[in-house]
Amino acid sequence: MKIEELHSITEIKPEDCYQTRGSRPVRVLCNDLNYYVCKYHSGKGFPFTLFNEYIAACFLKIWNLPVPEFAFVKIKKDHIRQINYPYHYFDTLCFGSRYFGEFKEADKLFLETPLIKKENLTGRDSFLRIGLFDIWLCNEDRHYENFNLLYNLKSNQFVPIDHVFCFNTLNLDKEPCLICENESILTTPFLSRFFSRPLQHNLNEIRLKIIDDFTFNVKQCHENLDNILANIPLTWEPDRGFLKSRLEFYFTKTWLQSCVDFFTTLFTLNIKNQ
């Protein structure tokens, strides 16, 4: 896949700055006439925060999960005059996710709305697949206190956002370990919205379908890994050999089985505990 490179065309206003747990991304109008929520590199060396966003977005796209369209964005110096950000934050290309203002934010209040129906199979499957995706890439920042999900009311799908804390919170250089139960959306009350009773007759069928999709999608990610790494911007100064060597573990049979087993445990226990 080829990632588009865009640039800002108007000044960024103070109201276009967002406060999140890990950063203060900015909303930028780009030369394709769409807005993008952009994350930038505020430190030195390789931008692992941007890499995590990029690699997760690429993999989510291969999984056919509804990740927002994304691009690399160059923010012009003249366009940050109204915001209090040092320009060196934007020396390298930013990672931008397409902004969709009509999507609903999934939070504790949204949990109580009637918008999520038990018969909503599309929402159910996207939710379960995102939960397994997070287990696979050790994403520690999508849970009951911070869902990092939007909801597309037209397609009835959950839209995953914000993947800075994949790989056990920016620790790609270390041996990965499974996320904790309280770091998974599979332990949130959302799960109970999709099942009419604890021992639903097709529960195992649903689980096996999600696992089959997982096996296929991970294989596709592995086959596309070289191309994904080749598209990393040169301004990020990537060591592609190092990155590939660290990612290879996530495709090993042992790791994949651990992910499937943990998914099964969380899925089964939390359905039965409804």
Q: Encode pLDDT of 100-149 as tens digits.
A: 888 888 888 777 766 665 556 778 889 999 999 999 999 999 999 999 99
| Token output for 259 | 């992910």
Q: Look at 203 and 57; give whichever has higher pLDDT.
A: 57
Q: Are 190 and 116 in contact (CB under 8 A)?
A: yes
Query: Residue 197: pLDDT above 60?
Result: no
> What are the pLDDT digits (tens) for 147-168?
999 988 888 888 999 999 999 9
- Provide, rounded to the nearest whole percent, the portion of the chain with pLDDT above 70: 93
Q: Are 102 and 76 in contact (CB under 8 A)?
A: no
What one-letter code names the amino acid at 243? L
Contact present, 18 and 83 (Cβ < 8 Å) = no
Q: Is the CB of residue 228 less than 8 Å from the CB of residue 2?
A: no
Percent of the chain with pLDDT over 90: 71
The conformation of residue 149, written as its DSSP 8-state character, comes to: E
Classified as helix, coil or strand, 5 is strand
CA-to-CA distance for 8 and 34, rounded, in angstroms? 10
pTM of the model: 0.93
Q: Who wins on pLDDT, 58 or 103?
A: 58
**Mean pLDDT for all residues in the chain:** 90
How much is the pLDDT for 236? Answer: 95
Q: Which residues contact 260 (CB under 8 A, 6 or more apart)?
A: 211, 214
pLDDT attached to residue 274:
53
The pairs formed by 203-212 with CB atoms below 8 angstroms and a separation of 24 or more are 203/268, 203/271, 206/124, 206/128, 207/264, 207/267, 207/268, 209/125, 210/125, 210/128, 210/129, 210/132, 210/263, 211/132, 211/260, 211/263, 211/264
Q: How confident is the model at residue 200 (pLDDT cuts 50, 70, 90)?
A: low
What pLDDT band is residue 199 in, cutting at 50, 70 and 90?
very low
Query: Minimal CA–CA distance to 187: which of 236, 128, 121?
Result: 128
Is the confidence at residue 195, as pLDDT, over 80? no
pLDDT value of residue 70: 97
